[in-house]
Structure 1
Amino acid sequence: MLQQPWCHDDERSALLQFKESFVIDKSASAYEGAYPKFLSWKPEGESSNCCSWDGIQCDEKTSYVIGLDLSSSCLFGSINSTSSLFSLLHLRTLNLADNNFKYSPIPTEIGKLSMLRYLNLSSSAFFGQIPSQISSLSKLSSLDLSLNLDGFTGTSLLQLKKPNFASLVQNLTKLEKLDLSSVNVSSTVADSLANFSSITSLLLEGCGLHGDFPATIFQLPNLRSLSVRENLDLNGFLPEFNQSSSLMFLSLAGTNFSGNLPSSMENLHSLVGFVASKCNFEGPIPSSIGKLRHLLYLDLSDNNLVGQIPESIEDLTQLSYLALSFNGFSGGNLSWVGKQSRLTILDLASTNLTGEIPSSLQNLTQLTELYLDGNQIAGFIPSWIGNLTQLTKLFLRVNNLIGPIPEPLFGLKNLETIFLDENALSGIVKFDMFLSLKDLTYLRLNSNNLSLLIEPRSTNATLPKFKVLALALCNISEFPDFLRYQDQLAWLELFGNNIHGQIPKWVLNTSTETLKFLGLSNNFLTGFDQLPDVLPWTNVQMLRLSNNMLQGPLPIPPPSTIEYDISDNLLTGEISPMICNLSDLQMLSLYNNKLSGTLPQCLGNFSKSLMILQLGNNSFRGSIPQTCSSGSNLRMMKLNSNQFQGKLPRSLVNCVMLESLDLTNNELTDVFPSWLGTLSELKLLLLHGNRFYGEIGRPKRDTDFPKLRVIDLSYNNFTGNLPADYWSSWSSMKEANVNHSDYMTAQTSFLMLNKMFSVTVSYEFSITITNKGVERYYQAILEEFAVIDLSSNRFEGDIPEVIGNLQALHFLNLSNNFLTGVIPPSLGNLTELESLDFSQNQLRGEIPHQLVQLTFLSSFNVSYNNLTGPIPQGNQLDTFDSTSYEGNPGLCGKPSSRKCNNAQASPLPPTTFDEDDKSGSSIKFDWRIVLSGFIGGLVVGVVLSDFVTMRLVRWLVIRLETLGWTLPKRRRRISRRNRV
């Protein structure tokens, strides 16, 4: 038996001194088996030989300390440049992993340990720049600096800038293992690594790598493990592999690797794990993948793979984990599943699977997690599912499954998660069957044809503790009684049921500290049994109470709220100033209630977080608050159908992310807000039904309103010529046939429940368009949609030819103005046009034959103008009746009753008023008009026999207003409507 060497006194002293620089704190190490190795270090007695101390290795011949392993030793303290550690000059291995060194830098003195072959400083809260002296440790075969992360934010603490990646490794040519995962490298991968023939393990996860990954690294002769996952800007492709490859584990997940999966992957005979999720691989999965008989772990999810899932996967009988989810496979069924009897996790979500759930799945008796959600699987949930006794997670949501929930499913006593929502399951379900599954934590039954029978509970005994419970559209008629005893809920969804009456007081006591999402929308709730000053769910983030019958004052959510939707209710009163505490609010929708008063000025305090603001269809009054400050994230502002007055707040110019601004049907008085032209993201500008006035003028810059697609200035008091200069610069309306199949939306995404749920909140832009006096509401608008509505103003002059350049236009309405001149032939270029309305103007000349080219036209109106000549025939123009042309006595041909001949059209009857009289001092009337006026409230009575009724009245009112006459207080616009 070899005698244990006796350590040198100076080294024992150095180690004891090193020990004294730390305290023992169990929270300093994350490993469950961590313990303080220092406890065996004694300065005197039989245990004073440092070579016998825990974590110490001495050379048998020289007795020098050559190994120091203090990993997971619960050390808390700093290491500085004077540390006695650096006097242990014979060290070959140094392992300080999984401790807490209090964000101290790695001392440059580490370079003194020139004999080091193994260095592990991972997961120990080191901070700052990696010292260049490490690059001088030329004998290193293993270097691990990974996972030095901030304990609160998870961000990298170490960075590699000077030296950079290439400089660090240039002298470390003997490296066999290199792990820089979570080090902030932010550079390209050092090309020199392709020359490190001895390297067996290269782990560069989440380093901020970018550029092209050297494909030759894959060919390193001894490389067994390679992971560059979570480097989003790292490009690369898989090379052709030769049979000499030693690769056992390859992870490219979360990178920008692309191209095809080469069939030569069959040469990776030793491959045990291949992870390439969230990349950009395309093409089919090569059938040769079935030859990787040692493969245990295969993850190709979230790519652009197509074709059929190869049946050769059935030959991978050693697989324990298989994930092919979220790809573009062309249908197919699961006939290849069943021989992988060792599978514990099978993830085939969103892979376009069809057919029924195959019976071969029942052979996978080791399965713990099954994900078949987001497919087109039809038929029944098979009763043999009860054979999968190890199952803990079952995801069958968003399919075409029918029939009842099979009773054997309730025999799977290990189930923790059941997601069956968005199918066509039917029948009556006794909810107690779910309550018998004691480990059940996540349950979603939304959007089926189920009717839940929920029995009252008098006790909390044996009930599962739910965290997610989604029972929307389940024909529930009252609040489930068992919720009284739930104190860990994070997600509760009950929308779309038949719950009537008040929200019971006990609901306010349910999971008050854990609830993050509460959805009670689309029920028949009338209010709270007892409404507190602030709703009691202290950590709630999303609160949805819309489409109910809630009455009384606005409930105030807690400050943690991110989304608050209580639209479409019967709320009254003013907004409490307590809403100002919601500093993280991103979405606020109070739309379509009966709220009144002025808006709190604090809305401007939300501008950096607030993205959606919907306050329309209420009775708010006063001025619009200064809602935007520098750095605003506001995307949608919908304040329509209120009683706002005054000017637009100039702070709107700070809403640089604003895409939709809807201020229709208010009492705003201002000039055209040309200053909004700097908002580069603005797509919708809706100012209909206000008191805007004056000439629009010319844009200050050619780039104003670069993305504007919809503008509605109708029913205001704008004057002057049409804004031809703006039309020349609106580039987004000039591109027709652009493939924008998406809808215009404002949306945001955030993670909830420890990143288990990625929630995307999306609000679609909407608009109401008037055709021939009939309003049509568009709940959603395609990105390609373009609208100009300048109707019911006082515009005059010609319609500019430049209008023909706006080839993306779908709706154009210039009716009810004082436009003269001819209809420009360039309108024939607007081939996307669906609706054209020039009625109630003074246009003359012929209708251009070029309008026959508008083959999408479904609404056309040029009535009550001075148009003459034949009505063009052909295509869509043949589908309109005479009402589209009436009030133009000079028009002839179908569908009018007047036939065309070669003779010159007879002149129009003389005007009944003098259009050229700008002073307003002389007004001429014919015998058909009887006018009676009373000072203190002018009453205008008009008796007309046939022609130009409304236009004459409008002209008369305008002329009298210029003389200072005041009309009775009546709003000369359409009545306020529900414009969602």
Structure 2
Amino acid sequence: MSQVFDSSLTQKGDELELLLSFKSSINDPLGFLFNWNSSTPLCLWHGITCNNCSKVKVIELIEKNISGTISSLIFHLTEIEKINLSNNDLSSEIPCDLASSMSLRYLNLRKIPTQIGVCSNLKELNLGANYLVGTIPSTISNISNLQILTLAFNKLIGQIPRALNKIKSLDHFDLGSDNLNGEIPSSFGNLSNLQHVFLFSNKLTGLLPKSIFGLKTLVELDLSYNHLFGEISKLLNELQSLETLHLFNNHFIDKIPNALASLPRLQQVDLSSNNLTGEIPSLICNISSIKVLDLVYNNLSGIIPPCLGNFSKILLALDLRINRFHGTILETFGEDCGLRNVNFNGNKLEGSLARCLPNCRNLEMMDIGNNMINGTFPYWLNSLSKLQVLVLQSNKLCGVLQSSKTIHSFPKLQILDLTNNEFTGPLPKDIIKNMKAMMNLNEQQSSLQYMHQRYYLYYVNLAVKGIYIELPYILTTFTCIYLSNNNFHGKIPRVIGKLSSLIGLNLSHNSLSGHVPTSMGNLTDMEWLDLSSNKLTEQIPNELKDLTFLAFLNLSHNQLTRPIPQGKQFSTFENSSYEGNLALCCFPLSKSCYNDGRKRSSPSFLKEVNDSETKINFSWKVVIMGYRCGLIFGVVAGYVTFRNGEPKWYVTLFQVKHHQIGRKYSRN
């Protein structure tokens, strides 16, 4: 649909007619613009905001499923400051009349207009998350007053235009999550007002330009998920205003810069997934403002500096997993510890868990898995009333899990992983029944949320449906218990059926016995269940058929008997879920069952028996006849002998045998 410009409308300044012309050029299938008519006051129209003089100031029609062309007339609204038509299906280019809108300060559309450079009054250009393709037009550099440029979360390709260094007023530059390549232009150092630079998740290569680290006004720098390399040690000294430094998932080969300690406002440091080596310098403890320190997936070694515990009052997240740190866990967390996330997974730490950890009363996640920690279960962690995730897998912990003296132990715990240790004794019945966060959790949650802090998401490695994966986003409704590969014995407690919000349960590779409790049928949110490699007996409860979300089941290598429940989710599981249970029968196994549950012999076995029966029938008759004759003779002879007194051979034989047995037991 084309739009013919009527100059008389602009001469009259009739905003009503201008907007009705805009409406006539687009399709509105949802009817959002139903009150755009002459009988409704203009300032009450949907998506319209007026200023104090009742002049149209803002047009905001985000995600309204409107399509068609954009009328040039809306750019002749005399006092328009903001137009936001993002996430729609408007297909035309922005007309040249865009230049006539002298008051326009903010523009958010779906496509980058070819004439964008003529709108010299724009201060904010936001075209993010609009599936834009192609390259970034260098004409944007003609918008000399631009302060905020957002082209993130699109499909833009090519290099960052060097001409952008002309926009001296630019303070917010966001090209994150596109497909840009090439190097970061060194001319960016000329943008002396830059405060926020986001170039994450692109394909940028090369060395970091030193000019960027000369930007004294820089507050946030995020260059993560690129292919940048080189040293960073000598580039940070000038960034006195820097608060956030994200350089993770690149190819930097360096040591942790001592220069970090000279940045007085630094709050977040994420240098993970690079090739950093050496030790953590003790100077890093001089950063009194730091809240997040993330050094994951590097080649760092040495001990964890004890001084890190000294400023834990401000530090919220300390993530050092997948490195080569050794020694013991910090014993320096004081009473004022503010840590919420401690993650030391995948190092070579040894000794026992630090008794000072309960000083971190706000701790929500603790992951010390895949180390060499020894000792017994840290029952004193029960005092951490906010703890949601506790991972101690693959260590050398041992002993019996004793009941805690705390009345409500682990009230918020949602993930417990004690896999691959040396725990023994029965499953901790009292600990399980106090896990209130695993009971009716869905009723407590009004919407889906993730475990996180303001500055940081929680990461954890877990076996989900039989496969180990890293979970970067942990739902607050995610609940699971892992106690596999230990030495637990005894029965599975019925109380486990009270954990109605449990999603995953793994008790495999223990010595558990008895039957599978029918109370497990109450775990209606269960998605994976692994009880394999135990000594469980009796029949699989029919109540498990009610677990309609169950996608992974492993009951293999037990001593289960009788028919496998049929129907619902059980029709989706294969032989591997039941192998190693010799007395199980029915689908999906090839063994069928009688109606009373007795195992029916297979056809091949029956045929073999029938074929051989005729061959041995006569032999059995001879044996039975001889047995009957011998039995009668033996009874008569015995009666006669004992009636006339004990025979000497019997007395002698019995006394010698009795004497030998007595010596054996006395010797033992």
| Alignment partners' CA distance in 2, 1:706 and 1:477 | 51
| Alignment partners' CA distance in 2, 1:477 and 1:533 | 21
Q: Tell me the alpha carbon deviations over residues 308-365 of structure 1, each in whole angstroms, 9 at most, x when there is no partner.
A: 577269778796xx9x9xxxxxxx7x6x799999636316376857446752762553
Q: Does 1:386 align with 2:90?
A: no
Q: Does 1:680 align with 2:373?
A: no
Aligned equivalent of 2:463: 769
| Alignment partners' CA distance in 2, 1:388 and 1:870 | 80
Secondary structure at the aligned position of 1:531 is classed as coil
Instruction: Using the TM superposition, give the Cα deviation of residue 495 of structure 1 relative to its aligned residue in structure 2, in angstroms.
Output: 1.9
| Alignment partners' CA distance in 2, 1:601 and 1:374 | 51
Aligned equivalent of 2:241: 539
2:187·2:211 contact (CA, 8 Å) conserved in 1? no
1:868·1:905 contact (CA, 8 Å) conserved in 2? no
Give me the TM-score of the superposition, normalised by structure 1.
Answer: 0.54
| Alignment partners' CA distance in 1, 2:238 and 2:51 | 52
2:266·2:290 contact (CA, 8 Å) conserved in 1? yes
837, 845, 864: which is aligned to 2:538?
Answer: 845
269, 278, 288: which is aligned to 1:583?
Answer: 288
| Alignment partners' CA distance in 1, 2:83 and 2:399 | 62
2:145·2:167 contact (CA, 8 Å) conserved in 1? no
Secondary structure at the aligned position of 1:532 is classed as coil
Aligned equivalent of 1:670: 375
| Alignment partners' CA distance in 1, 2:219 and 2:113 | 31
Instruction: Using the TM superposition, give the Cα deviation of residue 631 of structure 1 relative to its aligned residue in structure 2, in angstroms.
Output: 3.9
Instruction: Using the TM superposition, give the Cα deviation of residue 895 of structure 1 relative to its aligned residue in structure 2, in angstroms.
Output: 2.3
Instruction: Using the TM superposition, give the Cα deviation of residue 602 of structure 1 relative to its aligned residue in structure 2, in angstroms.
Output: 2.0
1:314·1:340 contact (CA, 8 Å) conserved in 2? no
Secondary structure at the aligned position of 1:827 is classed as helix
Aligned equivalent of 1:865: 558
2:390·2:415 contact (CA, 8 Å) conserved in 1? yes
Aligned equivalent of 1:554: 256
The answer for unaligned runs of 5 or more in structure 2 is 1-29, 601-668
Query: Structure 1's 554 and 809: CA in aligned 2 closer, same or farther, altered over 3 A?
Result: same
Instruction: Using the TM superposition, give the Cα deviation of residue 674 of structure 1 relative to its aligned residue in structure 2, in angstroms.
Output: 1.7
Amino acid corresponding to residue 552 of structure 1 in structure 2: D
2:159·2:180 contact (CA, 8 Å) conserved in 1? no
Aligned equivalent of 2:132: 425
Of structures 1 and 2, the one scoring higher in RCO (CA 8 A, sep 6+) is 2
Q: Does 1:823 align with 2:531?
A: no
Instruction: Using the TM superposition, give the Cα deviation of residue 627 of structure 1 relative to its aligned residue in structure 2, in angstroms.
Output: 6.1
Q: Does 1:876 align with 2:569?
A: yes
Q: Which sits farther off after the overlay, 410-419 or 444-453?
A: 444-453
Aligned equivalent of 1:779: 472
Q: Tell me the alpha carbon deviations over residues 403-458 of structure 1, each in whole angstroms, 9 at most, x when there is no partner.
A: xx223321122222222222122223342x2222222222222222334555657x
Aligned equivalent of 1:702: 407
Secondary structure at the aligned position of 1:489 is classed as coil
Instruction: Using the TM superposition, give the Cα deviation of residue 521 of structure 1 relative to its aligned residue in structure 2, in angstroms.
Output: 1.0
| Alignment partners' CA distance in 1, 2:64 and 2:268 | 33
Aligned equivalent of 2:81: 369
96, 100, 122: which is aligned to 1:415?
Answer: 122
1:417·1:440 contact (CA, 8 Å) conserved in 2? yes
Amino acid corresponding to residue 525 of structure 1 in structure 2: L
Instruction: Using the TM superposition, give the Cα deviation of residue 506 of structure 1 relative to its aligned residue in structure 2, in angstroms.
Output: 3.0
Aligned equivalent of 2:35: 311
Aligned equivalent of 2:202: 497
2:186·2:209 contact (CA, 8 Å) conserved in 1? no
Aligned equivalent of 2:486: 793
Q: Which sits farther off after the overlay, 810-819 or 761-770?
A: 761-770
| Alignment partners' CA distance in 2, 1:854 and 1:715 | 27
685, 692, 703: which is aligned to 2:397?
Answer: 692
Aligned equivalent of 1:465: 169
| Alignment partners' CA distance in 2, 1:389 and 1:344 | 13
| Alignment partners' CA distance in 2, 1:564 and 1:503 | 17
Secondary structure at the aligned position of 1:820 is classed as strand
Aligned equivalent of 1:618: 323
Q: Tell me the alpha carbon deviations over residues 503-541 of structure 1, each in whole angstroms, 9 at most, x when there is no partner.
A: 2333322x1x2100111111111123x732854311101
Amino acid corresponding to residue 541 of structure 1 in structure 2: E
| Alignment partners' CA distance in 1, 2:265 and 2:218 | 11
Aligned equivalent of 2:648: none
Amino acid corresponding to residue 768 of structure 1 in structure 2: L
Query: Structure 1's 617 and 454: CA in aligned 2 closer, same or farther, altered over 3 A?
Result: closer
2:254·2:277 contact (CA, 8 Å) conserved in 1? yes
| Alignment partners' CA distance in 1, 2:191 and 2:179 | 19
Amino acid corresponding to residue 570 of structure 1 in structure 2: N
Which structure shows the bigger proportion of residues in helix conformation?
2
Instruction: Using the TM superposition, give the Cα deviation of residue 499 of structure 1 relative to its aligned residue in structure 2, in angstroms.
Output: 2.3
584, 589, 593: which is aligned to 1:891?
Answer: 584
Q: Number of aligned pairs?
A: 565
Secondary structure at the aligned position of 1:670 is classed as strand
| Alignment partners' CA distance in 2, 1:696 and 1:381 | 69
| Alignment partners' CA distance in 2, 1:668 and 1:452 | 50
| Alignment partners' CA distance in 2, 1:308 and 1:486 | 42
Secondary structure at the aligned position of 1:537 is classed as coil
Aligned equivalent of 1:516: 219
| Alignment partners' CA distance in 2, 1:445 and 1:430 | 11
Query: Structure 1's 410 and 862: CA in aligned 2 closer, same or farther, altered over 3 A?
Result: same
2:408·2:434 contact (CA, 8 Å) conserved in 1? yes
Query: Structure 1's 351 and 878: CA in aligned 2 closer, same or farther, altered over 3 A?
Result: closer
Query: Structure 1's 650 and 340: CA in aligned 2 closer, same or farther, altered over 3 A?
Result: same
Q: Does 1:448 align with 2:151?
A: no
Q: Does 1:730 align with 2:432?
A: no
Q: Does 1:833 align with 2:526?
A: yes
1:648-667 matches, cutoff 5 A: 648-667=353-372
1:928-967 matches, cutoff 5 A: none
572, 584, 593: which is aligned to 2:277?
Answer: 572
Aligned equivalent of 1:5: none
597, 610, 618: which is aligned to 2:302?
Answer: 597
Instruction: Using the TM superposition, give the Cα deviation of residue 865 of structure 1 relative to its aligned residue in structure 2, in angstroms.
Output: 1.4
2:135·2:157 contact (CA, 8 Å) conserved in 1? yes
Secondary structure at the aligned position of 1:650 is classed as coil
Query: Structure 1's 467 and 713: CA in aligned 2 closer, same or farther, altered over 3 A?
Result: same
The alignment's C-alpha RMSD in Å is 3.1
Aligned equivalent of 2:623: none
Instruction: Using the TM superposition, give the Cα deviation of residue 370 of structure 1 relative to its aligned residue in structure 2, in angstroms.
Output: 0.5
Secondary structure at the aligned position of 1:588 is classed as strand
| Alignment partners' CA distance in 2, 1:502 and 1:817 | 53
Q: Percent same amino acid among aligned pairs?
A: 33
Secondary structure at the aligned position of 2:251 is classed as coil
| Alignment partners' CA distance in 2, 1:313 and 1:551 | 64
| Alignment partners' CA distance in 2, 1:442 and 1:903 | 73
Aligned equivalent of 1:526: 229
Aligned equivalent of 1:359: 71
Secondary structure at the aligned position of 1:499 is classed as strand
The answer for unaligned runs of 5 or more in structure 1 is 1-305, 325-331, 749-760, 907-980
Q: Tell me the alpha carbon deviations over residues 386-414 of structure 1, each in whole angstroms, 9 at most, x when there is no partner.
A: 14432352241xx7x24xx2233211222
Secondary structure at the aligned position of 2:495 is classed as helix
Aligned equivalent of 1:438: 144
Amino acid corresponding to residue 852 of structure 1 in structure 2: K
1:416·1:439 contact (CA, 8 Å) conserved in 2? yes
